Amino acid sequence: MNDRSADYIIRGGLVARGSGITREDIIVKDGKIRANDGRYREADAGRIIDASGVYVLPGIVDAHNHPVYADRIETFSMSAAFGGITTVIPFIANRRREGVEGTVSDMIREFQDEAAATSYLDYAIHAILLGDDDVDEQVPELMDMGVISFKMYMTYPRRGMMMPDERMLRAMELAAADGGIAMVHAENGYCIDYLVDRAIEAGNTGREHYAPSQPRILEIEAANRAATYAQVTGCPLYIVHLSAREMIGVLERFRGGDVRLFAETCPQYLDLTNKAMLDFGALAKIGPPLREREDNEAMWRGLSSHLIDTIASDFCGHKRSQKGSYDFEGEPDGEGSIFDATFGGNWAEQMLCVAYHEGVNKGRITLPRLVQVMCENPAKIFGLYPQKGSLDPGADADIALFDPAARHTLSAEAQHCVADFTMFEGKEVIGQPVLTMQRGEIIVENGVMHRPKGRANYLPGNRDLAAYAPAGYKVL
């Protein structure tokens, strides 16, 4: 082979990194991005990809998803690839609540087998530590497997998911000692159960009673508590899916201390409000609940002011029929109790479009900041950078070409997952991914999947690189 032969030259695009936007050609050879030092000649390239008029972005790293329901890793990763995502980090938990024996590490080994056979995208893994997990045994075992991030629920005690505080402290201590990172779903589950009981007793089980049963103070309280535990144990902490505007104050308080505190929000908390719950009932049931317009704006300000570090999808992949499989009989306008409906939504494929349209097109954040929060920072926080999340020489050639002028309407029909509804149905946006490349292979181009499943690599988190300050990380 001629040393001057690139596999691809992506020519004439505007290349967006966290550090800024430049017009340059991107050279791809043997799965990696190569230095554009004049060595690679267009005449010898396998293919020239004309990127004039489009942005060249690092592939999106979606650090929050649950492909364990109707959509498993196969269809979830396919859908994600169409949305410009190239790396996914699913959450895996033990399944004793469903009567399936085995530890979380057993479940992760099973998931790795499934993903090796069926995933379209490279993946790392977060472990969920549930209340019945033996953290002393599991944390070291998981670390040895390259699983370095441990999510704990501060809510859902009656679903058998909540991690008691004293064991959360122990898990944080173990993770901190070994270069790991804790993650929390910050809501006070005891208070939620109390309020839900009172609502049910009063016969208030309609959709309008959902948000009042999960008030913002419970998110704020739990986040303060988790950040306090992080400070006590010295464990880096990542708070998932921020939704309430007061969470910015929590970040401001703890970023002044010794805590390495990272925060995520999601497209639903950036663009949807409780009106979606009132309009669509069970389909819009997520935890934390959709809140108000001022909360959306606070999330954007948190992103632009470098207090919120990432945007992720929290994809759950339920079908309509699974959201309300009680009196609703699959219909969200039925009369079942909202408290019996399933949690979760599915919009990984639409995430970049929503974030770009609402963020960049509307002037709330810059495109380089979008690249920081959707590509660089999730890779940095979870020990995958600079292999992932970067367009610099030596990085994996994981690339999304994005047409900023493409006007289109989001719909469940247009998504490639099994899940058959989205709260962004009918939303008009400008901007669309048009080509997704991973490790130098074109996976999706012009709406067509070009690669077979089962091509993914497992990405062990590098604990020496994890949890270092993300781009733009602000210490107050």
- What is the contact surface with Zn ion in residues (CB under 5 A)? 314
Q: For 273-416, where are the E strands, in sequence order?
A: 310-311, 399-409
Pairing label, strands 55-58, 399-409: antiparallel
Q: Indicate the residue among 7 and 314 with the shorter CB distance to Zn ion.
A: 314
Pairing label, strands 181-185, 149-153: parallel
The three-state (H, E, C) secondary structure of 444-471, written as one string = EECCEECCCCCCCCECCCCCCCCCCCCC
> H helices then E strands: how many in the chain?
15, 18
386 three-state secondary structure: coil
Q: Indicate the residue among 69 and 473 with the shorter CB distance to Zn ion.
A: 69
Q: Could you say which DSSP state residue 146 is in?
A: T
Q: Indicate the residue among 55 and 315 with the shorter CB distance to Zn ion.
A: 315
**Smallest gap, in angstroms, from Cβ of residue 318 to Zn ion?**
12
Token pair, residue 282, equals 């069970």
**Smallest gap, in angstroms, from Cβ of residue 378 to Zn ion?**
14
Q: Indicate the residue among 286 and 471 with the shorter CB distance to Zn ion.
A: 286
**Smallest gap, in angstroms, from Cβ of residue 250 to Zn ion?**
19
- Residue 139 is inside which H or E element, if any? helix 135-144
Residue 405 backbone class (left: φ over 0; alpha: ψ -120 to 50; beta: rest):
alpha
Instruction: Measure the CA–CA gap between 381 and 466, rounded to whole angstroms.
Output: 5
**Smallest gap, in angstroms, from Cβ of residue 473 to Zn ion?**
23
Instruction: Measure the CA–CA gap between 166 and 117, rounded to whole angstroms.
Output: 39
**Smallest gap, in angstroms, from Cβ of residue 11 to Zn ion?**
39
**Smallest gap, in angstroms, from Cβ of residue 184 to Zn ion?**
11
Q: Are 63 and 40 in contact (CB under 8 A)?
A: no
Q: Indicate the residue among 314 and 396 with the shorter CB distance to Zn ion.
A: 314
Q: Indicate the residue among 187 and 314 with the shorter CB distance to Zn ion.
A: 314
**Smallest gap, in angstroms, from Cβ of residue 314 to Zn ion?**
4
Instruction: Measure the CA–CA gap between 423 and 426, rounded to whole angstroms.
Output: 9
**Smallest gap, in angstroms, from Cβ of residue 265 to Zn ion?**
12
**Smallest gap, in angstroms, from Cβ of residue 447 to Zn ion?**
28
Q: Indicate the residue among 133 and 314 with the shorter CB distance to Zn ion.
A: 314
**Smallest gap, in angstroms, from Cβ of residue 40 to Zn ion?**
42
Q: Indicate the residue among 60 and 367 with the shorter CB distance to Zn ion.
A: 60
Q: Indicate the residue among 74 and 314 with the shorter CB distance to Zn ion.
A: 314
| 263, HSE (Cβ side, Cα atoms, 13 Å) | 33
**Smallest gap, in angstroms, from Cβ of residue 316 to Zn ion?**
7
Q: Indicate the residue among 122 and 314 with the shorter CB distance to Zn ion.
A: 314
| 345, HSE (Cβ side, Cα atoms, 13 Å) | 32
DSSP percent split of the chain into helix, strand, coil, nearest 5: 35, 20, 45
Instruction: Measure the CA–CA gap between 360 and 349, rounded to whole angstroms.
Output: 18
Which of 172, 175, 308 minimizes the C-alpha distance to 242? 308
Q: For 2-117, where are the E strands, in sequence order?
A: 8-17, 20-29, 32-34, 47-50, 55-58, 60-65, 85-92
Q: Indicate the residue among 183 and 384 with the shorter CB distance to Zn ion.
A: 183
Cβ-closest position to Zn ion: 314
